[in-house]
Amino acid sequence: MAPRISALTLTVIALFGGAPLAAADDASLGKDLKATIALQGMPCDQLVQSKRNGDSDYTASCKDGNRYHIYVNAQGRVIVQKL
């Protein structure tokens, strides 16, 4: 019984240990995307959602309703396209 409990505990700890990692990744990605949008001179008060479409290709939704397609084109330029 004891080993079973400890295994369960370990699983829980592992899960909670990894969660902050993913959250931090999301946060910094959101920050990156928002800064990219701002650098292109487009409005985005707060990024509420971002969806990865592929490598270096995202769709971002802002709280103010603006949606953007952010990607790197073949020439290596970061493109922010309003949707």
Residues in contact with another protein by CB under 8 A are 2, 6, 9-10, 13-14, 16-18, 20-22, 24-36, 38-43, 46-52, 55-56, 58, 70, 72-73, 75-81
Which token pair is 69? 């397609």
**Closest distance to another protein from the beta carbon of 38 (Å):** 4
Cβ proximity to another protein: between 21 and 83 the closer is 21
Ramachandran bin of 41, using left for φ above 0, alpha for ψ from -120 to 50, beta for the remaining angles? left
Q: How far is the CB of 44 from another protein (least distance, A)?
A: 9
What amino acid occupies position 6?
S
Q: What is the rounded CA–CA span in Å between residue 3 and residue 7?
A: 6
Query: Closest separation between CB of residue 67 and another protein, Å?
Result: 13
Q: What angle do CA 54, 55, 58 make, to 5 degrees?
A: 60
Tell me whether residue 24 or residue 65 sits nearer to another protein (CB atom).
24
